[in-house]
């Protein structure tokens, strides 16, 4: 379960899902799509991950789930 934003990245995700016959009509949030960036230091093998929550961070756990989600669970 997740959400995409109403931005260019969200449109790209929705297009991909639709092309693969995945119903994503209820996944759109009124914000930007989240992003994650991984910064790696090859010499040491260390890394850092920066997460921008975006649409998934806007999900309200008290919101009733769409019927399609209930059936999927």
Tell me the per-residue pLDDT of 11-23, one tens digit each, with 9 for 90 and over.
998 899 999 998 7
Output the pLDDT for position 1: 67
What are the pLDDT digits (tens) for 19-55? 999 877 767 778 899 999 999 999 999 999 999 988 8
The owner of tokens 């969200």 is 10
Which pLDDT score is estimated for 43? 94
Per the rule left: phi > 0, alpha: psi between -120 and 50, beta: everything else, 45 is: left
Q: What Rg value do the Cα atoms of the chain yield, rounded?
A: 15
In whole angstroms, give the CA distance from residue 50 to residue 13: 20
Euclidean distance between CA atoms 53 and 56, whole angstroms: 6
């Amino acid at each position: 379960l997740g959400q995409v934003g109403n931005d260019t990245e969200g449109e790209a995700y929705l297009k991909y899902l639709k092309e693969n016959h995945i119903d994503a009509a209820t996944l759109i949030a009124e914000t930007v799509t989240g992003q994650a960036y991984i910064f790696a230091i090859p010499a040491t093998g260390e890394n850092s991950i920066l997460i921008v929550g975006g649409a998934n961070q806007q999900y309200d756990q008290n919101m009733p789930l769409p019927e399609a989600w209930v059936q999927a669970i």
